[in-house]
C-alpha cells in the first residue's frame, strides 16, 4: 500500500471523526487498514522506548511502522483542520439537514459492521441488544457536563480517542454526549493551542492504553465484540436523528442556551413543536447521500483486511 493511499484513508478517518456520524475506526476497518493501525499503535511500547534511549531512531521508526503512522496522521490532521470551520458553521446555521446527513452515514456504517459478524448465536445476539440498549439509554439521558477546567478537557480527549479507534463508535459522538463537541470545534477553529495541547495529551494516553484492550478483545472475542459495537452504533442513531425536541436547556460558557436533554420526534411533530420547517425532502435526500457514501467506500475497499501476522 503506497503512502498516498494511506494518506487518503487518513483523510477519510479524520472526516469521519469530526462529525458525530461514522467513527474513524469504521473507516479504517472498511478500507482494510484496521489491524495494521492497531498493531502500529501497540508497538509504541517499552521496546520502542529502549530503542529511543539508545538513539536508534531508525530502529524505533521501523518498530512502530512510522511511515504508515505518519501518512495516516497527516491525512487525519488535514481533514480535521480543514473541516472544523465548515462543520461548526453548518451546526449553527443548518443543524437539521446536517444531522440528516450524519444519520445516513451512521446507518450505513451500522449495516456494514453488521455484515462483519459471522455465525450468529444467542450470546452474540444478546451482545448486539446490549450495545443497542446502552447507546439508546445514553442518547436519551441528559448531556454530561464536562466543563470543569483542564481535567475535563483531558478526560474528554481520553474518552473520545478510545471511541475513535472503535469500529462503530464515533469519537465526536462521545463528545456530543459529554457536551464538549461544540467546545472542541471552537478550539480547533480558533487554534486555541492550550486547549488543543491538553486535549491531545488525553487522547495520546487514551490511545496507547485502550488500543491494547481493544486488540485483546477483538482477537479473543472478535464476533461478540463486533456484535456489541454494532448494537452501540444502531442505538446511537437516536443521537443523530435530525428532528429532536429539547426537554432541558442549560446555559453555555458564554451565556447562550444549549440543549441538555433531547428526544427524537417525527418531522411533523418537530414543525408543530418548534415552528420550524422539517425540510423533509432535503433531509431525506441527504440521508441517502450519506448512506451511499459509506456504501461506496465499503464497496471499493471492504473485505480487504490486512493480517498483521503477515506484515
* Helix H or strand E segment including 258: strand 257-264
Q: pLDDT value at position 311? A: 39
Domain boundaries, the chain: 3-310
Are the C-beta atoms of 208 and 109 separated by less than 8 Å? no
Q: pLDDT value at position 308? A: 37
Backbone phi, psi, residue 245, to 5°: -115, 125
Burial class (CB in 10 A: 0-12, 13-18, 19+), 221: middle
pLDDT digits (tens, 9 = 90+) for 223-270: 898 898 888 888 878 878 899 887 766 655 555 566 666 788 999 999
Q: pLDDT value at position 124? A: 93
Give me 274's grid cell: 418548534
Contacts with 121 (C-beta within 8 Å, 6 or more apart), sequence order: none
User: In whole angstroms, what is the distance from residue 116 CA to residue 303 CA?
Assistant: 9
Q: pLDDT value at position 305? A: 45
User: In whole angstroms, what is the distance from residue 230 CA to residue 224 CA?
Assistant: 10
User: In whole angstroms, what is the distance from residue 239 CA to residue 163 CA?
Assistant: 15
Mean pLDDT, the chain cut into blocks of 10 residues (311 residues total): 84 76 73 83 85 89 91 89 78 87 85 84 93 81 68 87 72 74 79 88 87 82 86 82 79 58 87 91 94 83 46 39
Give me 38's grid cell: 492497531
Are the C-beta atoms of 165 and 24 separated by less than 8 Å? yes
Q: pLDDT value at position 306? A: 43
Give me 18's grid cell: 469530526
Backbone phi, psi, residue 302, to 5°: -60, 155
Amino acid at each position: 500500500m503506497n503512502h498516498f493511499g494511506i494518506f487518503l484513508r487518513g483523510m477519510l478517518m479524520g472526516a469521519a471523526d469530526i462529525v458525530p456520524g461514522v467513527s474513524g475506526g469504521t473507516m479504517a476497518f472498511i478500507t482494510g487498514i484496521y489491524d495494521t493501525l492497531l498493531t502500529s499503535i501497540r508497538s509504541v511500547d517499552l521496546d520502542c522506548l529502549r530503542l529511543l534511549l539508545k538513539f536508534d531512531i531508525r530502529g524505533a521508526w521501523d518498530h512502530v511502522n512510522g511511515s504508515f503512522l505518519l501518512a495516516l496522521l497527516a491525512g487525519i490532521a488535514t481533514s480535521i483542520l480543514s473541516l472544523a470551520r465548515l462543520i461548526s458553521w453548518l451546526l449553527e446555521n443548518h443543524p437539521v439537514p446536517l444531522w440528516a446527513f450524519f444519520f445516513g452515514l451512521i446507518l450505513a456504517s451500522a449495516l456494514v459492521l453488521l455484515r462483519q459478524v459471522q455465525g450468529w448465536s444467542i450470546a452474540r445476539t444478546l451482545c448486539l441488544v446490549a450495545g443497542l440498549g446502552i447507546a439508546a439509554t445514553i442518547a436519551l439521558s441528559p448531556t454530561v457536563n464536562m466543563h470543569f477546567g483542564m481535567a475535563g478537557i483531558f478526560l474528554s480527549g481520553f474518552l473520545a480517542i478510545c471511541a475513535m479507534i472503535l469500529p462503530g463508535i464515533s469519537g465526536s459522538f462521545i463528545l456530543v454526549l459529554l457536551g464538549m463537541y461544540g467546545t472542541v470545534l471552537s478550539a480547533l477553529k480558533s487554534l486555541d493551542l492550550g486547549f488543543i495541547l491538553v486535549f491531545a495529551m488525553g487522547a495520546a494516553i487514551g490511545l496507547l492504553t485502550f488500543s491494547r484492550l481493544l486488540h485483546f478483545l477483538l482477537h479473543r472475542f472478535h464476533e461478540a465484540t463486533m456484535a456489541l459495537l454494532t448494537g452501540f452504533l444502531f442505538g446511537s442513531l437516536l443521537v443523530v436523528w435530525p428532528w429532536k425536541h429539547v426537554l432541558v436547556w442549560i446555559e453555555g460558557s458564554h451565556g447562550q442556551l444549549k440543549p441538555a436533554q433531547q428526544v427524537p420526534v417525527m418531522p411533523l411533530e418537530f414543525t408543530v413543536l418548534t415552528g420550524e420547517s422539517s425540510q423533509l425532502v432535503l433531509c431525506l435526500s441527504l440521508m441517502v447521500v450519506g448512506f451511499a457514501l459509506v456504501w461506496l467506500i465499503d464497496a471499493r475497499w471492504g473485505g480487504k483486511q490486512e493480517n498483521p501476522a503477515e506484515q
